[in-house]
Amino acid sequence: MGEWKEVELSELIDFGNGKKKPESEGDIPIYGGNGILGYSADFNYENETIIIGRVGAYCGSVYYENKPIWVSDNALAAKAINGNSTKFLYYFLKNANLNQHAGGSSHPLVTQTLLNSLEYDICIDKTEQKAIAEVLSSLDDKIDLLHRQNQTLEQMAETLFRQWFVEEADEDWAIRTLNDVLSVKGGTTPSTKNPDYWDGDIHWTSPRDITSLNSIYLFDTERKITEEGLRKISSGLLPKGTLLMSSRAPVGVLAFTEVPIAINQGYIAVLDNKGFTKEFLYLWLKTNIDYVQSYANGSTFLEISKTAFKSLEIQSPPTELRNEFQKLIIPNFEKIKSNQTQILTLTALRDTLLPKLMSGEVRIDTDE
């Protein structure tokens, strides 16, 4: 089994500064503290590089790339030295919660000096480092493959929708309002000052749950409420399968809920109880999101009201055509949902293994 030893990060990693975002345009990723900011024709690091958020809300965030990139001035770059595995160190730093070491009370900051001085008990055996990285990478690669497959499946459904109902739309189709083809519900937030309303077992969602989802299916929520809290929400508990659309900050993020759910005031909830399926309505909203957003207003942030939303006009294709379309696209949505279930399982496994592998609680036998 490999050797573990307490060392300073400076013995394993060479840290470097980022630089101001270049003006050029290209296909090379520009990394900041919150991931890819844009793309450039220039790069300041290449090959295996770890990117670490340097300042602010994303201080201590960690990313990995193995190609030319530009690291901006709100991030640091890290390169493995002395034969250590870059991918292993990437996972180690992700698990290390670097933000807890950040200096500055109002504006968190991590520096090269700070990172160089941090000491950890860490695997220094190169063979075991590689084996640990391979286990975690295999899970991440499978998760990434499923995400990309879901993107392709959704794009296929969107393309088919545009072909049938935009490019080949019949001008004789009736014009109706959204209020004619769907039902709308709104929500609220039970008083956060009353503990009797919170930490129950009923899913309650704010748009934060879906803006960070990276999926079109919502299986869980950050916060939950009690039965008493639910009684404070006039729309009550909405059924599984409800289509959610954020109505402000930003307008138009969409997701299907896979659990019965209560919503806050930042949503318009769509119920498909008037003959148009939720998948059709989802694709119509995605295709016409600019039209939807054009009805939003507000001085502090843009918001679309339920009244404005219900007044939007929609062409009404014949029921037979919609049914035929539904048969074609429903396998895409079912596969996306199945893939997302796998993603959640694999993510939970990776997140369980990561701290155990990094601490040595779970070891990988590299002896032949």
- 293 with 368, same domain: the answer is no
- 118 with 143, same domain: the answer is no
Instruction: Kindly state whether residue 206 falls inside one of the protein's structural domains.
Output: yes
Strand positions, DSSP E, the chain: 4-8, 13-17, 28-32, 35-40, 48-53, 62-66, 70-71, 75-80, 119-123, 174-177, 183-185, 198-205, 217-218, 223-225, 243-247, 251-257, 262-263, 267-271, 313-316
Nearest to 350 by CA among 53, 193, 143: 143
Specify which residues 76 forms β-bridges with.
17, 52
- 143 with 226, same domain: the answer is no
- 137 with 216, same domain: the answer is no
Q: Which residues contact 84 (CB under 8 A, 6 or more apart)?
A: 12, 13, 124, 126, 129
Q: What is the CATH number of the domain that holds 359?
A: 1.10.287
- 260 with 289, same domain: the answer is yes
Q: Which residues contact 345 (CB under 8 A, 6 or more apart)?
A: none
- 178 with 312, same domain: the answer is yes
Total number of residues shown for the chain: 368
DSSP string covering 343-362: HHHHHHHHHHHHHHHHHTSS
Specify which residues 72 forms β-bridges with.
19
Q: Which residues contact 311 (CB under 8 A, 6 or more apart)?
A: 177, 178, 179, 295
CA atoms within 13 A on the CB side of 145: 8
Using alpha carbons only, give the angle 243, 215, 166 rounded to the nearest 5 degrees: 60
Whole-structure pTM value: 0.91
Q: Which domain holds residue 338?
A: 126-155+319-368
Strands 48-53 and 75-80, bridge-based pairing:
antiparallel
Instruction: Kindly state whether residue 160 falls inside one of the protein's structural domains.
Output: no
Residues 305 and 179: beta-carbon distance below 8 Å: no
| Distance between CA atoms of residues 135 and 96, nearest Å | 18
Instruction: Kindly state whether residue 161 falls inside one of the protein's structural domains.
Output: no
| Distance between CA atoms of residues 365 and 333, nearest Å | 41
Instruction: Kindly state whether residue 144 falls inside one of the protein's structural domains.
Output: yes
List per-residue pLDDT tens for the chain, 368 residues long: 568 999 999 999 999 999 999 999 999 999 999 999 999 999 999 999 999 999 988 899 999 999 999 999 999 999 999 999 999 999 999 999 998 888 766 778 999 999 999 999 999 999 999 999 999 999 999 999 999 999 999 999 999 999 999 999 999 999 999 999 999 999 999 999 999 999 999 999 999 999 989 999 999 999 999 999 999 999 999 999 999 999 998 999 999 999 999 999 999 999 999 999 999 999 999 999 999 999 999 888 899 999 999 999 999 999 999 999 999 999 999 999 999 999 999 999 999 999 999 999 999 887 75
- 139 with 210, same domain: the answer is no
Residue with tokens 């998760």: 143
